[in-house]
């Protein structure tokens, strides 16, 4: 929807933003001390390079918001909304198309840390409050990030909420980038080209690049709007985006990580439909193939999944291409029973709690990803930051061992080693299963059995999880309570544990 409060550019005299300067403010007085030669500027299609004096000119008229590609070792001033000042409208009121770079603040020596949000998806001001209290405020004083990104669906169709969401995000105090999602569209637009007018008026370019010393970030709008069709959008890219990638990627350093940020996953999420156009994916993969260090970050699914592209999806690189499909900040669209603070449970359909991800990038192009649940119950060893467990509370001693302990290991992959033991005995392997998370299935049953509403919206119906493991609980041990320990191994984070217990009871016919 085209919200009038956001269309502040509509009354400006239209002046083309085809040329300008990039300067460096070395002494902090708000004015450039010198030019920034070699820094690139783009409109999402063409790329210009600043000369020795910092002057740049696009080869042709600007076709969209014009942005500077922040160079490593530099920072950017902030706009009035707290977002980085890295873009200008393609046509504006004559404020110029000049960009100012600042010296970069000191950063930790070991790694670049990035906060990764997907799908905050607030539909009301109350849900903006959930985002603020559940996601943002707990991070304010404890994160070490130097950059943040939201992978689309910033709002849930009500785009007038952008300013409030931005005020919340700005409290984190780091430059923040935004990728467009399918719920960020102007649905009354008659064509795809006009479907992000409101988004561009607030966040600028829907395709952009940003460079840090350890990584290059490329954001792409991969939601192709198809008004009047069903479905009304599909995942894919456009000729202008390919033109930008073809012009920009050859200039990108190969010794650091290349991070591609999109909303709709590059893999097909429906076995019976092409949710991302295969021809576009193969064309994109051809441009990425020779980069030794590539990571894809996506959102949209409101689940958490680690996917590895190979020849089946058109990837021809030397090693599989890792796509991290990031879980939602809003979880299951802010649904489920509320806690004591009034915040909905928001567990996602695969059993993953709502929260955020972090990306840590190292000098060698290597990286580490992690998921951080928004809330953890105090004193519950079965629910940790890395996993949660589900097991029956009591079993009959001597019964056939048909009942198991389940571990939902949020960052688990097909090759993750997960083990369990009972009562301090020998560790045994757990088996990866494709099944609904039993904890969420119980929550579904509670909703079914409740005679009144437990929350504004019910928790989602549990679907098979891609990161669930099972181990059969022994029933031949002595009567009484038995502690179950689970450990999962991650090559970057090491060993992580959780524990629960069950009781064996004697019974007679």
pLDDT at 472 over 90: yes
Whether 495 has a pLDDT exceeding 60, the answer reads yes
Indicate the number of domains in the chain: 3
Q: How far apart are CA 371 and CA 304, in angstroms?
A: 9
134 shares a domain with 84: no
Q: In which residue are the tokens 């260090």 written?
A: 293
Residue 98 to residue 104: CA distance in whole angstroms: 19
Decide if 380 is inside a domain. Answer: no
pLDDT interval class at 504 (50, 70, 90): very high
Return the percent helix, strand and coil in the chain, to nearest 5.
Answer: 15, 30, 50
Distance CA 478, CA 504 (A): 7
At 145, list the tokens.
Answer: 């990030």
Report the distance separating Cα 106 and Cα 86, nearest Å: 20
Domain boundary among 338, 373, 408: 373
Classify residue 311: in a domain, yes or no.
yes
- Shared domain for 299 and 417, answered yes or no, is no
pLDDT digits (tens, 9 = 90+) for 246-299: 999 999 999 999 999 999 999 999 988 999 999 999 999 999 999 999 999 999
- Domain extent, residue 43, equals 7-103
pLDDT of residue 285: 98
* Residue 308 and residue 417 in one domain: no
Q: Which of 103, 133, 159 marks a domain boundary?
A: 103
Residue 72 has pLDDT above 70, yes or no: yes
79, 183: one domain: no
- Please check whether residue 344 lies inside any domain of the structure: yes
Quickly state the pLDDT bin for 106 (edges 50, 70, 90).
confident
Q: Which of 408, 382, 379 is nearest to 393 (CA)?
A: 382
Query: What's the pLDDT band for 202 if we cut at 50, 70, 90?
Result: very high
Q: Are 235 and 266 in a shared domain?
A: yes
Residue 163: name the closest of 302, 11, 3 by CA. Answer: 3
Residue 132 placed within a domain: yes
At residue 201, what are phi and psi to the nearest 5 degrees?
A: -65, -25
b/e string for 319-354 if b means 16 or more Cβ within 10 A? eebbbbbbbbbbbbbbbbbeeeeebbbbbbbbbbbb
Q: Can you tell me whether residue 224 is helix, strand or coil? A: strand
Q: Are residues 188 and 276 in the same domain?
A: yes
- Of the candidates 225, 154, 236, the residue with the CA atom closest to the CA atom of residue 189: 225
CATH number at residue 242: 3.60.21.10
Residue 381 forms part of a structural domain: no
Residue 96 confidence (pLDDT): 72
Is beta strand 480-490 parallel, antiparallel or unpaired with respect to 417-422?
antiparallel
Mean pLDDT of the chain: 93
Residue 169 lies in a domain: yes
Q: Is the pLDDT of residue 153 over 90?
A: yes
Question: 165-201 burial by CB neighbour count: b if 16+ within 10 A, else e?
Answer: bbebbbebebbbbbbbbbbbbbeebeebeebbbbbbb
Structural domain contains residue 379: no
The 10s digit of each residue's pLDDT in 35-61 is 999 999 999 999 999 999 999 999 999
User: In this structure, is residue 329 part of a structural domain?
Assistant: yes
Residues 223, 213: contact at Cβ < 8 Å? no
Q: Quickly list DSSP for 367-387.
A: EEEEEEES---TT-TTB-SSE
123 and 254 together in one domain: yes
Looking at the structure, do residues 74 and 181 belong to the same domain, yes or no?
Answer: no
Strand partners, 211: 216
pLDDT at res. 27:
86
HSE, side-chain direction, 13 A CA sphere, residue 74: 26
What does the alpha-carbon distance between residue 408 and residue 240 come to, in Å, rounded to a whole number? 41
H/E stretch holding 488 reads strand 480-490
Q: Residue 355 is encoded by which pair of tokens?
A: 């929260």
Q: CA-to-CA distance for 345 and 323, rounded, in angstroms?
A: 27
Are 369 and 344 found together in one domain? yes
State both tokens at 190: 């008659």
Q: What CATH number is attached to the domain comprising 487?
A: 2.60.40
Strand 321-325 and strand 294-298: the pairing is: parallel
| Residue 365 DSSP code | S
- Kindly state whether residues 123 and 99 are assigned to the same domain: no
Does the structure show a pLDDT above 70 at 14? no
Q: Which of 333, 350, 373 is the last residue of a domain?
A: 373
- Using pLDDT thresholds of 50, 70 and 90, give the confidence band for residue 401: very high
| Cβ 345 vs Cβ 439: under 8 Å | no
Identify the pLDDT of residue 379: 78
User: Does the N-terminal peptide bond of residue 4 adopt cis geometry, omega within 30 degrees of 0?
Assistant: no
Instruction: Check whether 161 has a pLDDT greater than 70.
Output: yes
**240 and 177 share a domain?**
yes
User: Do 248 and 330 share a domain, yes or no?
Assistant: yes
DSSP track, 110-178: S-EEEEEE----B-SHHHHHHIIIIIIGGGTTT---SEEEEES-SBSS-GGGHHHHHHHHHTT-S-EEE
């Amino acid at each position: 929807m085209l919200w009038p409060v956001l269309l502040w550019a509509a009354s400006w005299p239209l002046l083309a933003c085809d040329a300008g300067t990039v300067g460096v403010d070395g002494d902090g007085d708000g004015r450039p001390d010198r030019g920034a030669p070699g820094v690139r500027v783009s409109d999402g299609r063409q790329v210009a390079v600043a000369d020795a004096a910092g002057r740049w000119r696009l080869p042709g008229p600007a076709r969209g918001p014009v942005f500077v590609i922040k160079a490593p070792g530099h920072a950017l001033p902030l706009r009035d909304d707290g977002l980085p000042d890295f873009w200008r409208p393609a046509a504006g009121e004559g404020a110029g198309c000049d960009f100012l770079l600042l010296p970069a603040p000191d950063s930790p020596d070991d790694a670049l840390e990035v906060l990764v949000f997907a799908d905050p998806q607030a539909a009301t001001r109350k849900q903006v409050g959930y985002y603020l209290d559940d996601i943002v405020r707990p991070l304010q004083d404890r994160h070490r990030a130097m950059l943040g990104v939201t992978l689309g669906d910033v709002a849930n169709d009500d785009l007038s909420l952008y300013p409030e969401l931005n005020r919340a995000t700005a409290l984190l105090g780091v430059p923040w980038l935004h990728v467009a999602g399918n719920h960020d569209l102007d649905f009354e637009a008659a064509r795809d080209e006009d479907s992000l007018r409101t988004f561009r008026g607030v966040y600028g370019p829907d395709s952009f690049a940003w460079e840090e010393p350890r990584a290059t970030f490329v954001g792409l709008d991969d939601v192709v709007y198809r008004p009047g069709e069903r479905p009304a959008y599909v995942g894919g890219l456009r000729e202008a985006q390919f033109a930008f990638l073809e012009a920009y990627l050859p200039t990108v350093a190969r010794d650091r990580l290349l991070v591609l940020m999109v909303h709709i996953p590059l893999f097909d999420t429906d076995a019976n439909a092409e949710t991302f156009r295969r021809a576009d994916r193969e064309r994109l993969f051809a441009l990425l193939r020779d980069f030794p260090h590539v990571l894809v970050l996506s959102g949209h699914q409101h689940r958490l999944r680690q996917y590895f592209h190979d020849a089946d999806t058109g990837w021809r690189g030397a090693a599989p291409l890792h796509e991290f499909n990031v879980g939602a900040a809003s979880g299951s669209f802010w649904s489920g029973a509320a806690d004591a603070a009034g915040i909905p449970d928001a567990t996602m359909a695969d059993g993953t709690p709502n929260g955020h991800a972090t990306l840590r990038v190292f000098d060698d192009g290597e990286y580490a990803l992690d998921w951080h649940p928004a809330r953890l119950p105090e004193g519950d060893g079965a629910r940790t930051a890395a996993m949660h467990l589900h097991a029956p509370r009591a079993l009959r001693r001597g019964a056939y061992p048909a009942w198991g302990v389940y571990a939902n290991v949020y960052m688990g992959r097909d090759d993750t080693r997960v083990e369990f033991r009972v009562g301090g005995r020998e560790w045994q392997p757990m088996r990866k299963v494709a099944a609904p998370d039993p904890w969420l299935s119980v929550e579904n049953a509670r909703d079914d059995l409740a005679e009144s509403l437990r929350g504004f919206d019910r928790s989602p119906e549990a679907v098979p999880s891609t990161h669930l493991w099972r181990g059969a609980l022994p029933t031949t041990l002595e009567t009484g309570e038995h502690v179950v320990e689970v450990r999962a191994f991650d090559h970057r984070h090491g060993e992580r544990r959780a524990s629960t217990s069950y009781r064996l009871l004697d019974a007679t016919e």
